[in-house]
Amino acid sequence: MLDALDILLQANFWAATIRIATPLIFGVLGALLCERAGVLNLGIEGIFVAGAMSGWLAVYLGLPLWGGVLVAALVGAGFGLLHGLLTVPLGLSQHVTGIGITLLATSAAYFGYRVAFPNVGTPPRIEPFAPLDLPILGDLPFIGPILGQQTAFTVLAFACVGGLAFILGRTPLGLALRAVGDNPEAVEAQGLSVAGLRIGAVMAGSALMALGGAFLTLSAFNAFYFGMINGRGWVCIALTVFASWRPGKALVGALLFGALDAYQLRLQTITGGAVPSQIFLMLPYIFSIAALVLVARRADYPRALMKPYFKGQR
């Protein structure tokens, strides 16, 4: 029992929590942005895969690490543009299109990998982002070791939380994005383009999703592996509801899931195999579902979410 509690006092545990939460932060922010504009994007799992693969391949081919980040974002935005064109002006089912985007992006990433490395069993490695070197903060007890194990990619994730919160809450663009997800008729009455705002939001949100995948290959690991996304995209969809479409709560939800995941890994070591590992692996998802059920009952959904809008129609 004491060993289980001691985990919470270890700097390595909190460092792992932040590291596990980082791709989820990008993903849930991306999903949140899409849904705030009224578009559900179930392509997130595939966009994660495409971002992980494209960012890693770009760096392997010679681009700098931040160049790989940019490539991943552009690839994500491209899939977002496809999803936006199919669901906004054409009004196709957002569920079906999103699943199709997931299948297309995942297949394209795996196909691209096999074309680039047809006879390679083990993926080649790259030099990933290095841990931060913080001259003053790094010397602080407990906090220093936590921050010292993070990379600039994680700093970017936290900056995106603040940036998106500011844009949505304090700028005319954010007001328009929130309005287009709640009352597109009012947005059209103001002379703004509902389709342009929605497609732009889906592209930006999909770019954030792709950064979540790129974090795994450019910061957490140093190569691309099949199956490495492992359902993180679907977790982000649930965390979006948990966060009530607010960036600050999205950060809390991602950190909570990261803490549960990091905790179960250490519990497996303590029990020494006495409990099947599958039980521990289920814990973060069970707690996430329980929290989602409790929060979803009071969730204030964007009123125009998943509702196609055509100019002039009422």
**SS3 of 46-73:** HHHHHHHHHHHHHHHCCCCHHHHHHHHH
**SS3 of 111-131:** HHHHHHCCCCCCCCCCCCCCC
Q: What is the pLDDT of residue 121?
A: 81
Q: What is the pLDDT of residue 183?
A: 93
Q: What is the pLDDT of residue 109?
A: 96
Q: What is the pLDDT of residue 1?
A: 61
Tokens 């985990």: give the residue.
Answer: 7
Q: What is the CA radius of gyration of the chain?
A: 20
Q: What is the pLDDT of residue 295?
A: 76
Nearest to 236 by CA among 252, 210, 248, 254: 254
Per-residue pLDDT of the chain (314 residues), as tens digits, is 657 778 888 999 999 999 999 999 999 999 999 999 999 999 999 999 999 999 999 999 999 999 999 999 999 999 999 999 999 999 999 999 999 999 999 999 999 999 999 888 889 999 999 999 888 888 888 899 999 999 999 999 999 999 999 999 999 999 999 999 999 999 999 999 999 999 999 999 999 999 999 999 999 999 999 999 988 999 999 899 989 999 999 999 999 999 988 988 888 877 776 777 777 778 777 877 777 777 777 778 899 999 998 876 65
Q: Do the beta carbons of residue 130 and residue 151 sit within 8 Å?
A: yes
Buried b or exposed e, range 27-41, using 16+ CB within 10 angstroms: bbbbbbbbbbbbbbb
Length of the chain: 314
Give alpha helix (H) positions in 172-305: 172-182, 184-189, 194-215, 232-242, 247-271, 277-296
Q: What is the pLDDT of residue 137?
A: 81
20-116+147-298 placed in CATH 3.30.1360: no
- Whole-model pTM: value is 0.94
Position 211, amino acid: L
Residues 6 or more apart whose Cβ sits within 8 Å of residue 267: 4, 7, 280
